Amino acid sequence: MRMPTNSSKLRSEQAAGLSPGRLREAIRAGRYRGTTEGLAPGYLQANLLAIPAAMAYDFLLFSQRNPAACPVVEVTDAGDPRITDIARADVSTDLPRYRVFRNGECVREPESAVDWWREDLVAFLLGCSFTFEHALRRARLPLRHREAGRSIPIYHTGIKCNRAGVFSGQMVVTMRAFPGSAVAEAVRIMSRFPRAHGACVHVGDPAQIGISDLQDVSFGDPPVIKTGDVPVFTPCGVTSQLVAQSAEPDLMISHYPAHMLVADVTDEQSAGC
């Protein structure tokens, strides 16, 4: 069988014009391996976290006890990488890039997870903040990091997640700075998307949640903060990733950062109200 050639690869601009279904087709065929940020605007994107079935109850309970930080939108049956609700897709082939962890250590970053999938894996799909960022843009609210061409700033915090079995840890958050006059509207819009990390955990003084210096990010780029801006903090998908890693499953497969599953449900369909 002939493998797809480089000449058939899609550039981001071409990928940007595709429907979620066509995009997943291109990814599955090896024709697109880039970030999904900005693609299929208006459709839900999801983080992937696949762990052994023996740990799946504890993780599902963790998500029930920490819904803002760990918003589960679909769970596969053990050993079957297919989902049917947010999209008809195979999560072992339909993301552009993956990370494979052994006992909590990243050992590979493959373009397909097929060779790594195992009979006892259960895949969790978690909402992603691209959803509410899209809604914020539609409302013409400024996104400082995007305007500056930077990645979103991400921070460890002192906020303890609620433990569930083997899963525990501190919440990781993203920060977006808004003019004081826009904070209420931003919070209102984000709050509509609790399944996409839109439930704010803190507004204002970073020190109160254990962040001593906003310029000293844990991941991503340092923020741009203008005079009069107020920092707004929302839970980040990295929380679940780190909590899962620290439980050291013998095998864990996740999406590669910003290389998500693009779903068939729209942002609006995933809204809480």
* Chain positions contacting its own copies, by CB under 8 A: 56-57, 60-61, 63-65, 72, 75, 85, 162, 191-192, 194, 272-273
Query: In the complex, what is the shortest distance from the CB of residue 213 to its own copies, in angstroms, rounded to a whole number?
Result: 33
Give just the sign of the alpha carbon dihedral 77, 81, 84, 87.
positive
Shorter beta-carbon distance to its own copies: residue 53 or 224 = 53
CB of 40 to its own copies, least distance (A): 24
Least Å from the CB of residue 247 to its own copies: 16
CA dihedral 82, 84, 88, 89 (to 10 degrees): -20
Per the structure block, which two tokens stand in for 157?
A: 């915090």
Beta carbon nearer to its own copies, 198 or 223: 198
Nearest-approach distance from CB 194 to its own copies, in angstroms: 7
CB of 219 to its own copies, least distance (A): 28
Across 145-173, b (16+ Cβ under 10 Å) vs e yields bbeeeebbbbbbbebebeebebbbbbbbb
250 close to 102: Cβ distance less than 8 angstroms: yes
Encoded tokens for 159: 């906020």
- Closest to its own copies by CB, 26 vs 70, is 70
Secondary-structure percent of the chain, ordered helix, strand, coil, rounded to 5: 25, 25, 45
Among left, alpha and beta (phi > 0; psi -120 to 50; other), residue 198 is alpha
Nearer to its own copies, 76 or 241 (CB): 76
- Closest to its own copies by CB, 57 vs 102, is 57
